[in-house]
């Protein structure tokens, strides 16, 4: 009995030693290629990996408990190992050494310790640390990987500078997906005036956060609402840093610098889909890019063009400014006169300017800050340093104000800009009618509120209560659900007189709710092959989207077999009803068409980049672009849209859906779709708007099989304007028209990687800079043929089968 007890104790001791050694190594141990250290909670692993080329081996840290290898830190970024002889050791001095063939060092840490028992340990935070084996206190780490980041920011990491040692914790992107060596995109804290977070491409500033205002960086949209992470900014005599930490410890979240897309992105892991989902991406729009509007310019992504001069300023070079060349920026409309008395105009909700030429005082109040600025003739603007708790501190700027962004929400902060006294008088004259209009508006608002409360009683009668059999399904919609009877009454029992048209999913009716609101009702056909899944998809997607160029979903209805979507009513119908109708085509002038083109582009950019989800529409065409009462375009019909995770750039499907004639070749032939397949569809739509002809129905005597081929032939012959409608050539801006033709051909290039992104498309449409030459378009899709029952040419068919595609 004693013998068995002895054996059991030995086994327990052996297992105990094995379990405690799994996340650490000591000077007497090593970690060869093929073995890993795993953190105590199993969250992270340390070991050797190959990101692309199999022969290149790197030592790195990655998430241990998810199926896709996601590397968060790399040791030997600039010095890969060419075989599997790599081994990691920790010396008695505490120095970490990565060796090849047990001799040549390819990477090491600059660690020297006066401890007798140094150990190397991978923590559950993803931090690799050197510590005294008897002391696990974070304050006493001898070295840690969090101080030497790669491209990924994990919760608990600091971005910033240790003022005592000079340690600068700065991130740098991988050169590409296969090469972890540092690219030219960096991200860190910079101490110029007041500290702020700055991304650079090479030595040039690319993105900046604006000053910390006590609540957030002024150039960031407030993310305090998000349930995933919180953040803080610390500045004292010892260190200055920005830090993020998880609200919910069970969530996995990471920030990444993406060299390929020049983006700073934050992802969260979705255990249900087993993918990384994009939470936020920077730049959100072109206005985030550094100094895009030049000195003393303001950038508002909700305007077209986005750049305009600050109040009291005018373009320095008007001709260039009107051609969307904003590099010269703006100058004062009236010269400043320090002695005769200048004043300040308040600019609300903006990102504070570049602080390179600025001065701060953390104790001065806003009133004293104004006096300080006014007394210095070189001072051009001032603001509060901290906007919380009533405001405190003072920041003032000297010289040109660079990189200001306008927010429409409550983000950003107020900035007080110095202008001449004459500009202030002019503003006061302008303000008088504004004040009168405001008073009238308040009175009208009071009347409307009274009317609203009266009508709301009637509206309660129309409020939907889900059918019991569909209760769970309705709750999944996350949107107001209307009763069937309410919709039937609004559409006069789906009268033929109220029918607006017939789409791939069924008929669309105009209706009027009891409160007088006009609606458009899409009634899902019971015979539609794409029923409930597309219906749910459209509801879930559009309910989360908010953009001026996307149609607004008001509600839905599920009643037995009935599935209906209720949209805002678009009185001018669809875009194709104007551009393809000979009697209505001249209603849309070129200037209006160009505005429509830019609006569609902005809506697509929102879907691809700026929304909470990356969305591929997959069925962009004229009939899915609706026009409101002011001819503003709104993208509709999201039944076939797909969402992408943050790391996902393309996807594959065996069920190719969409409309033939607008599909990108890689999608039509192989089922591959991405944001670039939407860009291809945009290019087709752009050509149709310019020519007034349908790509699918096009025929030309010269043998051109479709509109793309015809446009390409004319481009090679040096006669690109011949593809445009004669009416537009005679009355429109020819340089603008030619630029749009050029952009359309760039969008329909055969290879997806050659097509521009929608952010580039918008820049090309708005600027007058030279454009790259287009390559061969994708007008020859594949060599297979449609069968008669797979595509009949009618608009009611939205799906084509992968194996049945023809050449044209």
User: For the chain, which residues score pLDDT lower than 50?
Assistant: 1, 3-21, 430, 459-477, 646-649, 701, 703, 780-808
Which distant-in-sequence residues (6+ apart) come within 8 Å of 684 by Cβ?
A: 621, 661, 662, 695, 707, 708, 744, 748
413-420 and 342-350: which strand pairing? antiparallel
- Nearest-angstrom CA–CA distance, 28 and 219: 50
Q: How far apart (Å, rounded) are the C-alpha atoms in residues 692 and 701? A: 17
CATH of 23-148 among 3.90.550.10, 3.30.420.40, 2.90.10.10, 2.40.10.350: 2.90.10.10
Please give the class, per CATH, of domain 573-804. mainly alpha
Q: DSSP letters along 581-612, please?
A: -TTTGGGS-HHHHHHHHHHHHHHHHIIIIISS
- Paired sense of beta strands 614-616 and 518-523, if any: unpaired
Query: What's the confidence (pLDDT) of residue 224?
Result: 63
pLDDT at 103: 81
Per-residue pLDDT of 555-583, as tens digits, reads 888 887 788 889 899 999 899 989 988 88
pLDDT digits (tens, 9 = 90+) for 633-667: 999 887 677 776 544 445 555 555 667 778 888 88
Can 619 be counted among the known catalytic residues? yes
What's the longest Cα–Cα distance across the chain?
106
How far apart CA 21 and CA 36 sit, in angstroms, is 11
Other beta carbons less than 10 A from residue 178's beta carbon: 11
Q: What phi and psi, each to the nearest 5 degrees, are found at residue 41?
A: -90, 0
pTM over 0.85: no
> Token pair for residue 364?
């001065």
Q: Which of 354, 619, 637, 678 is catalytic?
A: 619
Q: Reply yes or no on domain 465-569 having CATH 3.30.200.20.
A: yes
Q: Which residues contact 39 (CB under 8 A, 6 or more apart)?
A: 23, 45, 64, 122, 123, 124, 126
Burial class from Cβ neighbours inside 10 Å (0-12, 13-18, 19+) for residue 30 reads middle
List the chain domain ranges: 23-148, 287-428, 465-569, 573-804
The pLDDT value given to residue 371: 93
């Amino acid at each position: 009995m004693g013998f068995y007890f002895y054996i059991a104790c030995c086994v327990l001791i052996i297992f105990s030693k094995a379990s405690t050694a799994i996340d650490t190594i000591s000077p007497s141990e090593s970690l060869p290629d093929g073995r890993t250290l795993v953190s105590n909670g199993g969250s992270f692993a340390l070991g050797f990996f190959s990101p692309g080329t199999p022969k290149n081996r790197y030592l790195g840290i990655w998430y241990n408990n998810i199926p896709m290898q996601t590397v968060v830190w790399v040791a030997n970024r600039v010095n890969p190992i060419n075989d599997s002889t790599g081994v990691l050791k920790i010396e008695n001095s505490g120095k970490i050494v990565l060796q090849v063939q047990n001799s040549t060092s390819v990477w090491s840490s600059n660690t020297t310790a006066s401890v007798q028992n140094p150990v190397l340990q991978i923590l559950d935070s993803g931090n690799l640390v050197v510590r005294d084996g008897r002391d696990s206190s974070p304050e006493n780490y001898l070295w840690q990987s969090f101080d030497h980041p790669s491209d990924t920011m994990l919760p608990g990491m600091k971005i910033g500078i240790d003022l005592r040692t000079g340690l600068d914790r700065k991130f740098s992107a991988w050169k590409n997906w296969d090469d972890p060596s540092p690219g030219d995109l960096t991200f860190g804290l910079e101490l110029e005036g007041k500290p702020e977070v700055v991304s650079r491409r090479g030595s040039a500033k690319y993105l900046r956060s604006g000053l910390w205002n006590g609540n957030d960086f002024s150039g960031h949209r407030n993310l305090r609402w998000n349930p995933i992470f919180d953040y803080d900014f610390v500045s004292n005599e010892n260190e200055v840093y920005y830090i993020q930490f998880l609200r919910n410890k069970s969530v996995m979240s990471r920030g990444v610098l993406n060299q390929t897309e020049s983006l700073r992105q934050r992802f969260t892991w979705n255990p249900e889909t087993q993918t990384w989902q994009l939470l936020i991406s920077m730049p959100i729009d072109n206005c985030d890019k550094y100094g895009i509007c030049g000195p003393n310019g303001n950038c508002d992504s909700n305007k077209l063009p986005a750049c305009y001069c600050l109040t009291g300023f005018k373009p320095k070079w008007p001709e260039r400014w009107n051609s969307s060349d904003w590099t010269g920026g703006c100058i004062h409309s009236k010269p400043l006169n320090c002695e005769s008395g200048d004043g300040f105009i308040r600019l609300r909700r903006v990102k504070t300017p570049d602080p390179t030429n600025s001065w701060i005082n953390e104790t001065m109040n806003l009133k004293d800050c104004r006096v300080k600025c006014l007394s210095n003739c070189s001072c051009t603007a001032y603001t509060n340093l901290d906007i919380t708790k009533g405001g405190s501190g003072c920041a003032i700027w000297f010289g040109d104000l660079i990189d200001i962004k306008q927010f429409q929400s409550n983000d950003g902060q107020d900035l007080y800009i110095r202008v001449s006294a004459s500009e202030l008088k002019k503003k006061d004259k302008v303000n008088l009618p504004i004040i009168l209009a405001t008073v009238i508006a308040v009175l009208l608002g009071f009347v409307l509120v009274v009317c609203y409360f009266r009508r709301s009683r009637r509206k309660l009668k129309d409020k939907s209560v889900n059918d019991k059999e569909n209760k769970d399904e309705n709750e999944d919609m996350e949107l107001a659900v209307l009763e069937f009877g309410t919709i039937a009454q609004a559409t006069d029992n789906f009268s033929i007189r109220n029918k607006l048209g017939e789409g791939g999913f069924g008929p669309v009716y105009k209706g009027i709710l009891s409160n007088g609101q006009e609606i458009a009702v899409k009634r899902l056909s019971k015979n539609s092959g794409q029923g409930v899944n597309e219906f749910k998809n459209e509801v879930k997607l559009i309910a989360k989207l908010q953009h001026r160029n996307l149609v607004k979903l008001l509600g839905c209805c599920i009643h037995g077999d009935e599935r209906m979507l209720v949209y805002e009513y678009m009185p001018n119908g669809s875009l194709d009803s104007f551009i393809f109708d000979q009697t209505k085509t001249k209603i849309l002038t070129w200037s209006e068409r160009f505005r429509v083109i830019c609006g569609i582009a902005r809506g697509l950019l929102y879907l691809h980049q700026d929304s909470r989800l990356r969305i591929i529409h997959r069925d962009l065409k004229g009939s899915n672009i609706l026009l409101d009462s002011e001819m503003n375009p709104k993208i509709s019909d999201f039944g076939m849209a797909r969402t992408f995770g943050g790391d996902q750039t393309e996807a594959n499907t065996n069920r190719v859906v969409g409309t033939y004639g607008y599909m990108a070749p890689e999608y039509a032939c192989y089922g591959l779709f991405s944001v670039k397949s939407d860009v291809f569809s945009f290019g087709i739509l752009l050509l149709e708007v310019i020519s007034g002809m349908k790509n699918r129905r096009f025929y030309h005597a010269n043998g051109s099989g479709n509109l793309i081929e015809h446009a390409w032939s004319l481009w090679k012959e040096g006669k690109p304007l011949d593809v445009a409608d004669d009416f537009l050539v005679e009355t429109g801006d020819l340089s603008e028209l030619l630029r749009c033709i050029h952009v359309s051909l760039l969008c329909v290039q055969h290879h997806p990687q050659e097509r521009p992104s929608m952010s580039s498309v918008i820049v090309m449409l708005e600027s007058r800079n030279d454009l790259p030459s287009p390559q061969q378009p994708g007008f020859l899709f594949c060599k297979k043929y449609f069968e008669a029952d797979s595509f009949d040419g009618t608009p009611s068919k939205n799906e084509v089968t992968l194996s049945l595609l023809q050449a044209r």
